[in-house]
């Protein structure tokens, strides 16, 4: 039995704890803010690679100090769908381009023949790149990757960057945990399948990067692209101060595992900054597919508006009202009886996106702050009920496990979801699901 440092590197928080595999206990959990964007603009969200590692190094160093510098390993979960590009010498040539970045929806620059070294195909000069890629690859992309093509994926953002940034001829595309391992030392180039799949170049059936998608990107951009070596088990990939560092895994999968979900038995609803409805070892033609652990797959619907959407819809009330306090005090009945119709899908690629977010069914006397807050919660709950039907199309799952920070802040949300689903619904027994999931994976390393 051993002691492991577990780290969850999210978009807003970097959390770290110590997991004892003998007692199955998670202790000394600390939370730190993740680095802010260093480049931020219209659909642009970049973070300094150096700052990402500095935060990681500080957090891991502090955790190791708390156990006297003696740990059996460091396990890591990370935000997905972000990437950075390195040259053939292992030096970054881009910042970390976050999953929040949707630059592929921005028009490419309109260039004259002698204005730039960037060679743009005639049909792309001043055009929106994403529309071309979607038209040419969307069906094949979905069949290969298991995912719906979105503007925030590295597959499309890399192509856009190749036309708008000074990328070298030979490019290495890396996920966040690969970069952290690369900087830690003794990196052997391994990438866990859950992170490899998030890059958007990965064939989930063949368990390797897709020759078809890589070839498409290379021919369009004139760059040669390389990746890490994908593995399906959690293996050592580097060392941090002499302690084994294991391949980073997808935060979504770790949260599903740590929440106590069981394959082919439970429906997982994870609600945080973003949210997902998932089920392990369940097939669905209406959901996307992700790699999971133990060579299993997970049916899922992602990009469901959650905390990020609440923040946007509560923006007019940032001063002068304790709206989060009001949300937390709502009863389930008040939520179910609310009358406003709110579409929370305000960002492109979100589940239920049409033409941006909206508020409807406003009548005289009905647009009160309490009704507005209750309607926001009901609208969230309705999303999960709809997504649940698309994941569990056969209606075989008998229990729902709700996890994440938002339902703990708004108890009525989980109660409303339970009422809509008409199935046994429980909150995850663990408040730090991703960290506890990593602890479970640590326990498997010893078997």
- Compute how many other C-beta atoms are within 10 angstroms of the C-beta atom of residue 89: 9
Q: What is the DSSP letter of 286?
A: T
Both ends of the chain: CA-CA distance in Å?
10
Q: What is the dihedral of CA 46, 48, 53, 54, to 10 degrees?
A: -130
**What distance separates the 2 farthest-apart alpha carbons in the chain?**
67
**72 has a pLDDT exceeding 70:** yes
pTM of the model: 0.91
**354 has a pLDDT exceeding 90:** no
Mean of the per-residue pLDDT values for the chain? 92
d(CA 436, CA 77): 11
> Among the residues of 239-368, which ranges form H helices?
251-258, 307-313, 323-329, 332-336
> Are the C-beta atoms of residues 74 and 240 closer than 8 Å to each other?
yes
Measured over the CA atoms of residue 352, residue 409, residue 291 and residue 392, the dihedral's sign is negative
Average pLDDT value for residue range 102-117:
69
Query: Hey, what are 273's tokens?
Result: 């900054």
Per-residue confidence at 183, pLDDT binned at 50, 70, 90?
A: very high
**322 has a pLDDT exceeding 90:** no
pLDDT at residue 112 in the model: 44
pLDDT at residue 122 in the model: 59
> Are the C-beta atoms of residues 343 and 369 closer than 8 Å to each other?
no
Average pLDDT value for residue range 313-340:
89
Picking from 247, 312, 248, the residue whose alpha carbon sits closest to that of residue 274 is 312
Tell me the pairing of strands 399-403 and 266-271: parallel
pLDDT at residue 42 in the model: 87
pLDDT at residue 272 in the model: 84
pLDDT at residue 12 in the model: 87
Percent of the chain past pLDDT 90, that is, above it, reads 79
- Compute how many other C-beta atoms are within 10 angstroms of the C-beta atom of residue 446: 12
Picking from 180, 192, 183, 184, the residue whose alpha carbon sits closest to that of residue 228 is 192
Average pLDDT value for residue range 338-358:
89
Per-residue confidence at 113, pLDDT binned at 50, 70, 90?
A: very low
> Are the C-beta atoms of residues 104 and 157 closer than 8 Å to each other?
yes
pLDDT at residue 111 in the model: 54
Average pLDDT value for residue range 435-447:
90
**123 has a pLDDT exceeding 90:** no
pLDDT at residue 119 in the model: 54
Per-residue confidence at 116, pLDDT binned at 50, 70, 90?
A: very low
Domains of the chain (ranges; CATH) run 3-252+436-445 (3.30.420.40), 261-429 (3.30.420.40)
Picking from 428, 410, 407, 426, the residue whose alpha carbon sits closest to that of residue 418 is 426
Q: Which helix (H) or strand (E) holds 304?
A: strand 297-305
Per-residue confidence at 99, pLDDT binned at 50, 70, 90?
A: very high
pLDDT at residue 69 in the model: 86
d(CA 334, CA 328): 12
Task: Mark 251-274 as b/e (b = at least 16 C-beta within 10 Å).
Answer: bbbbbbbbbbbeeeebbbbbbbbb
**307 has a pLDDT exceeding 90:** no
Per-residue confidence at 115, pLDDT binned at 50, 70, 90?
A: very low
Q: What is the DSSP letter of 37?
A: P
> Are the C-beta atoms of residues 19 and 4 closer than 8 Å to each other?
yes
Average pLDDT value for residue range 135-160:
94
pLDDT at residue 254 in the model: 96
pLDDT digit string, tens, across residues 228-270: 999 999 999 999 999 999 999 999 999 999 999 999 999 999 9
pLDDT at residue 353 in the model: 87
Picking from 165, 153, 159, the residue whose alpha carbon sits closest to that of residue 219 is 159
Query: Hey, what are 369's tokens?
Result: 């702050």
d(CA 114, CA 119): 10
Bridge partners of 274, per DSSP, are 305
């Amino acid at each position: 039995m051993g002691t492991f440092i577990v780290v969850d590197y999210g978009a807003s928080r970097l959390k770290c704890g110590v997991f004892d595999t003998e007692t199955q206990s998670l202790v000394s959990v600390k939370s730190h803010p993740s680095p802010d964007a260093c480049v931020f603009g219209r659909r642009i969200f970049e973070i300094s690679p150096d700052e990402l590692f500095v935060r990681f190094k500080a957090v891991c160093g502090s955790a190791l100090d708390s156990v006297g510098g003696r740990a059996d390993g460091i396990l890591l979960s990370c935000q997905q769908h972000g990437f950075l590009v390195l040259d053939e010498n292992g030096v970054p040539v881009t910042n970390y381009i976050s999953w929040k970045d949707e630059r592929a929806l921005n028009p490419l620059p309109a260039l004259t023949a002698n204005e730039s070294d960037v060679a743009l195909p005639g049909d792309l000069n001043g055009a929106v790149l994403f529309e071309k890629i979607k038209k040419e690859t969307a069906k094949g992309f979905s069949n290969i990757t298991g995912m719906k093509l979105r503007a925030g994926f590295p597959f499309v953002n890399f192509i856009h960057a190749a036309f708008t940034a000074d990328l070298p001829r030979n490019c290495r595309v890396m996920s966040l945990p690969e970069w952290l391992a690369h900087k830690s030392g003794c990196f052997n180039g391994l990438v866990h399948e859950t992170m490899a799949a998030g890059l958007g170049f990965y064939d989930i059936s063949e368990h390797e990067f897709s020759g078809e998608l890589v070839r498409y990107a290379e021919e369009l951009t004139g760059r040669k692209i390389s990746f890490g070596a994908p593995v399906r088990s959690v293996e050592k990939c580097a060392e941090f101060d002499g302690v084994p560092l294991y391949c980073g895994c997808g935060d979504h999968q770790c949260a599903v595992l740590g929440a106590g979900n069981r394959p082919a038995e439970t429906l997982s609803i994870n609600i945080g900054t973003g949210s997902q409805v998932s089920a392990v070892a369940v097939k669905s033609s209406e959901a996307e597919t992700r790699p999971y652990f133990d060579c299993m797959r997970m049916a899922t619907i992602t990009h469901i508006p959650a905390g990020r959407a609440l923040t946007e819809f509560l923006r007019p009330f940032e001063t002068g009202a304790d709206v989060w306090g009001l949300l937390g005090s709502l009863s389930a009945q008040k939520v179910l009886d609310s009358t406003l119709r709110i579409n929370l899908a305000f960002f492109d690629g979100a589940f239920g996106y049409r033409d941006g977010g909206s508020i409807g069914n406003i009548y005289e006397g009905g647009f009160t702050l309490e009704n507005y807050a209750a309607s926001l919660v009901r609208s969230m709950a309705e999303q999960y009920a709809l997504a649940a039907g698309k994941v569990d199309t056969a209606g075989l799952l008998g229990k729902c496990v709700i996890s994440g920070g938002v339902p703990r802040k708004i108890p009525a949300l989980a109660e409303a979801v339970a009422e809509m689903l008409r199935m046994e619904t429980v909150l995850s027994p663990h408040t730090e699901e991703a960290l506890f999931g990593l602890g479970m994976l640590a326990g498997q390393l010893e078997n």
